Amino acid sequence: MHLSQRDGALDLLKWLALLSMLLDHLRYVGFSVDWLYVPGRLAFPWFCLAMAANLARDDSRKMEWRYLGWLLLFSAISEVPYRFYIPDPDTFNVMPTLALGLLVARGWQDSASVARLLALAALVVAAVFSERLMFGFFGVLLPLAMLLVFRRPWYFSLLPGLVCLAANQWQVLLESARFGNSVAILGLATCLFAPMLGMFLLRHGRHVRPPPMRRWAYVLYPAHFVLLLAIRQIIA
């Protein structure tokens, strides 16, 4: 799968991941919309897949540090609106998980000692602070799992599907699914097949031309918390 400099399918994947995240967070506005948990399970694996696609570019060696810098900057910026909006959060926002995942995936890809040491350090941090990271230790491994199967046949995407399932509190989902909870059953299926759906989109949507998602899109993450918080205040 060769990625051009401006790949329309990759932009579409990012927009759909952003939409999935927005739908997921609508559950905390005040409406009874627990079923939005299901499409919300697409957001994180699709952001990880977009990261793997960026790393797979020929020029990824030039972009990696800037990419990491933006993630770290908006990890800090987003934490305040995240904590205002999400009731009693027990983890950081998702960007620290993505930043650690980037270091791990890049360490696998790059044999340089600095990259390998940073990847090892990221794994140690993920293991020690797993309970404080959104999607935990397996969430940090997901970008690497996506990268490993990026150019392989579609059925290999079941591997990152299993990693995605492990990152999404699969024990709770399985327990609820045993009692016939439809949201849990669909949530399990979505976690398992989200990487496969994303790969299909990247491989067969190359001719679409959505608005390009550039660096300004980082602002959308903290901004959507502010917007949803304002909506919640209005309807309260």
Residues 58-62, mean pLDDT to the nearest whole number: 57
Instruction: Provide the pLDDT confidence category of residue 59 given band limits of 50, 70 and 90.
Output: low
Which structural domain, as residue segments, surrounds residue 118? 8-235
- Can you give the pLDDT at residue 236? 75
Report if residue 79 sits inside a domain: yes
Report if residue 1 sits inside a domain: no
Number of H helices, E strands in the chain: 11, 0
Asked if the model's pLDDT at residue 130 lies above 70, the reply is yes
Residues 144-148, mean pLDDT to the nearest whole number: 97
- Can you give the pLDDT at residue 56? 86
**C-alpha pair distances (Å), 80 with each of 29, 72, 93, 125, 177:** 17, 14, 9, 22, 34
What's the CA gap between 134 and 221, in Å, rounded? 15
Report if residue 146 sits inside a domain: yes
What's the CA gap between 230 and 53, in Å, rounded? 34
- Can you give the pLDDT at residue 57? 78
What's the CA gap between 227 and 168, in Å, rounded? 26
Residues 64-90, mean pLDDT to the nearest whole number: 93
* Number of domains the chain contains: 1
- Residue 5 or 153, more confident: 153
Give percent above pLDDT 70 in the chain. 95
Instruction: Provide the pLDDT confidence category of residue 1 given band limits of 50, 70 and 90.
Output: very low
Cα-atom radius of gyration of the chain, to the nearest Å? 17
Report if residue 3 sits inside a domain: no
Report if residue 33 sits inside a domain: yes
- The whole-model pTM stands at 0.93
Report if residue 2 sits inside a domain: no
- Can you give the pLDDT at residue 30? 87
Q: 194-221, pLDDT tens digit by residue? A: 999 999 999 998 788 899 998 899 999 9
- Can you give the pLDDT at residue 58? 58
**Chain center to CA of 15:** 12
127-133 long-range Cβ contacts below 8 angstroms, 24+ apart: 131/90, 131/91, 132/90, 132/91, 132/92, 133/91, 133/92, 133/96, 133/97, 133/100
